[in-house]
């Protein structure tokens, strides 16, 4: 389990002007009615309308694709007058396999409240039962726990009103004939679409909130597909509108009952606000937003620079939930944290150039040079020809990748490093599609376009072959039950940070 870092002091400074701008950009969601396409279990049971179920009967409905929305069940009874409450069990699943596991066995470290199941009593039939919660699912299992000896349940219809800020009909097909790449692209777009709600959510099943690291990648995929600039703008204003303590941008935000930042600072996520703003500005040339948010971006760099030791490195906070980089209990994040600071400074220089902020440009250029030198001095192991991290001098994939993205070495040397990393395959591997995104980015940075395509096919294509309708939060082809939370039951199978193949592929096939 990752150590949860709870701040002792937490003082939020809301910027009402920014929050008002964000509020005005709140999207009107598209709503689409979807009905089950198939009945997967309950073969003996008649279909709609008038599907009759007795005590202990159950059906599994397949809605044909991953849905995010609100479910209504049109229920009635048959037989004698209803002489007892109908007692129902409903379970929603993003993948069919989930229904083969027992949610009561869940013993992970995050709340089982996220498991999508309900026990419901219906006192009076007929009833159009509109469930108040929003679910993320393709499959719905309905079990009759009890009716009575004198009446049975009749299900006349089940519908889901699917919601999203965008409509996938707006997107042109990918310009390649390769069927696997086209499939990967469409699954990625479905993932993105289902995560685009009032804000860019990380996962519509869990955590259903706005995380900064996820937003940056979703926004990149969105620029190549839906081009919904307002939703990105809204999210950037929300982050910048609720800094805490010395001006830190929170790692994630809650939107209900009213916008609040989480009391979590992630060093890397806060810094990545800088590249998210640069991407947004380069895409839209939206001067007003840029002028508003530039100081918040620079503030994140200043805060990060304050963490530097006299030796110009970031202290090791591995083991705390402080610099995310990737899930994985054993990952040492010290070297990557310095690399992410250097990477963000490079984006900071771009922003400062747009702002014609000469003082900043000079300061950041100097820092960039000093920190690149420091990264090599402290973390490059000449004998192994790899970057190491932490006191235990750990060699991980993530450290090499972030050092490449930080451009600590010239391109040719980085190229050698990525090939060496692939060849040696360090034991501390990549766990999530979030880190995989950065691996693909590092391959592209070092001129390995063909290999990048192959890796997209192998990794995201692996999920497709394993039946993904939307891409998963965690995917380890060697351990498909991998979970950072102690149980794969709680994993999200439509997860924002996994949607980026569409970003890469649409750039390749422009
Ligand atoms: C998880 C979420 C989210 C991610 C954080 C760090 O809780 O899945 O996507 O950004 O971790």
Residue spans of alpha helices (H) in 136-286: 179-195, 212-224, 229-240, 267-284
Burial of residue 309 (CB within 10 Å: 0-12, 13-18, 19+) is exposed
| Residue 191 contacts residue 499 (beta carbons within 8 Å) | yes
Which residue has 């090499």 as its token pair?
A: 400
Least confident of 41-55, 106-120, 221-235, 299-313: 41-55
Q: What is the pLDDT of residues 16-71, one digit of tens each?
A: 999 999 999 999 999 999 999 999 988 777 888 999 999 999 999 999 999 999 99
Bridge-based pairing of strands 151-164 and 51-53 is: antiparallel
Number of neighbours of residue 356 by Cβ within 10 angstroms: 8
CA 296 to chain centre: 23
**CATH numbers and ranges of domains, the chain:** 30-164 (2.60.120.260), 176-509 (1.50.10.10)
Q: Is the CB of 213 under 6 A from ligand 1?
A: yes
DSSP output for 333-383: -HHHHHHHHHHHHHHHHHHHHHTT-HHHHHHHHHHHHHHHHHHHHHHEETT
**Residues comprising the chain, all counted:** 510
Q: How far is the CA of 150 from the centre of ligand 1 (A)?
A: 49
Instruction: List, in order, residues 6 or more apart from 436 with CB less than 8 Å away.
Output: 430, 455, 459
Distance from C-alpha of 335 to C-alpha of 315, rounded to nearest angstrom: 9
Rg (C-alpha) for the chain, rounded Å, is 25
Q: At residue 2, does pLDDT exceed 90?
A: no
Q: How far is the CA of 430 from the centre of ligand 1 (A)?
A: 15
Question: Which residue of 111, 214, 486 sits with most ligand 1 atoms within 8 Å of its CB, as the best mutation to test the pocket?
Answer: 214
Atom 7, ligand 1: residue with shortest CA distance: 207
Of 435, 427, 417, 425, give the one whose Cα is nearest residue 484. 435
Angle between helices 334-354 and 397-405 (to 10 degrees): 20
Q: At residue 484, does pLDDT exceed 70?
A: yes
Q: What is the pLDDT of residues 255-278, one digit of tens each?
A: 999 999 999 999 999 999 999 999
Distance from C-alpha of 129 to C-alpha of 145, rounded to nearest angstrom: 17
CA distances from 144 to 57, 73, 125, 200, 311 (A): 6, 13, 14, 36, 66
1 pLDDT band, cuts 50/70/90, is: very low
Mean local confidence (pLDDT), 376-402: 98
Helix (H) or strand (E) holding 121: strand 117-122
Distance from C-alpha of 141 to C-alpha of 117, rounded to nearest angstrom: 9
Say what the pLDDT of residue 5 is: 60
End-to-end CA distance of the chain: 42
Average predicted confidence (pLDDT) for the chain: 96
Atom of ligand 1 nearest to the CA of 473: 8
Distance from C-alpha of 209 to C-alpha of 54, rounded to nearest angstrom: 39
Q: What is the pLDDT of residues 288-332, one digit of tens each?
A: 999 999 999 999 999 999 999 999 999 999 989 999 999 988 999
Tokens of 346: 């490079």
Q: Is the CB of 211 under 6 A from ligand 1?
A: yes
Q: What is the pLDDT of residues 140-169, one digit of tens each?
A: 999 999 999 999 999 999 999 999 999 978
Q: At residue 510, does pLDDT exceed 90?
A: no
Q: Is the CB of 326 under 6 A from ligand 1?
A: no
Helix (H) or strand (E) holding 93: strand 86-93
Number of neighbours of residue 111 by Cβ within 10 angstroms: 12
Atom 5, ligand 1: residue with shortest CA distance: 211
Question: Which residue of 200, 211, 438, 485 sits with most ligand 1 atoms within 8 Å of its CB, as the best mutation to test the pocket?
Answer: 211
Residue 500, CB-side half-sphere exposure with 13 Å CA sphere: 28
422 pLDDT band, cuts 50/70/90, is: very high
| Residue 234 contacts residue 198 (beta carbons within 8 Å) | no
Say what the pLDDT of residue 217 is: 98
Distance from C-alpha of 396 to C-alpha of 306, rounded to nearest angstrom: 26
Distance from C-alpha of 447 to C-alpha of 450, rounded to nearest angstrom: 9
Bridge-based pairing of strands 210-211 and 151-164 is: unpaired
Number of neighbours of residue 319 by Cβ within 10 angstroms: 15
């Amino acid at each position: 389990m990752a150590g949860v870092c709870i701040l002792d002091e937490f003082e939020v400074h809301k910027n009402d002007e920014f929050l008002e701008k964000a509020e005005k950009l709140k999207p009107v969601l598209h709503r689409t009615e979807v009905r089950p396409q198939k009945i997967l279990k309950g073969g003996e049971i008649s279909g709609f309308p008038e599907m009759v179920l007795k005590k202990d009967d159950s059906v599994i409905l397949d809605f044909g694709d991953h849905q995010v929305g609100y479910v209504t069940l049109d229920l009635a009874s048959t037989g004698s007058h209803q002489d007892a409450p109908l007692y129902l069990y409903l379970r929603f699943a993003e993948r069919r396999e989930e229904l083969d596991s027992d949610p009561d066995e869940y013993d992970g470290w995050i709340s089982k409240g996220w498991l999508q199941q309900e026990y419901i009593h219906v006192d009076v039939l007929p009833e159009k039962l509109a469930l108040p919660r929003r679910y993320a699912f393709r499959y719905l299992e309905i079990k009759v726990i009890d009716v009575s000896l004198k009446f049975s349940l009749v299900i006349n219809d089940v519908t889901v009103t699917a919601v999203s800020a965008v409509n996938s009909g707006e997107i042109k097909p990918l310009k390649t004939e390769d069927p696997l790449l086209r499939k990967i692209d469409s699954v990625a777009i479905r993932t993105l679409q289902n995560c685009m709600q009032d804000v860019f959510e990380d996962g519509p099943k869990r955590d259903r909130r706005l995380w900064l690291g996820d937003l940056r990648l979703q926004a990149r995929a969105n620029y190549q597909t839906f081009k919904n600039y307002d939703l990105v703008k809204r999210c950037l204003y929300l982050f910048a509108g609720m800094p805490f303590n010395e001006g830190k941008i929170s790692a994630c935000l809650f939107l209900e009952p009213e916008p609040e930042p989480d009391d979590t600072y992630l060093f890397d996520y806060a810094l990545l606000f800088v590249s998210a703003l640069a991407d947004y500005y380069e895409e839209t040339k939206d001067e007003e937003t840029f002028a508003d948010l530039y100081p918040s971006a620079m503030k994140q760099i200043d805060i990060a620079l304050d963490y530097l030791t006299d030796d110009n490195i970031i202290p090791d906070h591995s083991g705390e939930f402080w610099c995310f980089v990737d899930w994985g209990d054993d990952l040492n994040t010290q070297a990557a944290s310095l690399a992410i600071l250097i990477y963000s400074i490079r984006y900071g220089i771009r922003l400062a150039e747009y702002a014609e902020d000469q003082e900043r440009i000079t300061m950041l250029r100097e820092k960039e040079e000093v920190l690149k030198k420091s990264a090599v001095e402290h973390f490059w192991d000449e004998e192994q020809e790899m970057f190491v991290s932490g006191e235990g001098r750990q060699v991980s994939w993530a450290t090499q990748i972030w050092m490449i993205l930080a451009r600590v070495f010239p391109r040719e040397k980085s190229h050698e490093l990525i090939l060496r990393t692939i060849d040696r395959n360090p034991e501390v591997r990549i766990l999530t599609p979030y880190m995989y995104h950065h691996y693909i980015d590092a391959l592209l940075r070092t001129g390995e376009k063909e290999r990048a395509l192959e890796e997209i096919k192998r990794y995201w294509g692996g999920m497709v072959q394993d039946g993904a309708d939307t891409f998963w939060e965690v995917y380890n082809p060697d351990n498909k039950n991998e979970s950072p939370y102690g149980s794969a039951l709680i994993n999200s199978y439509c997860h924002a940070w996994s949607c980026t193949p569409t970003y890469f592929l649409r750039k390749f096939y422009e």
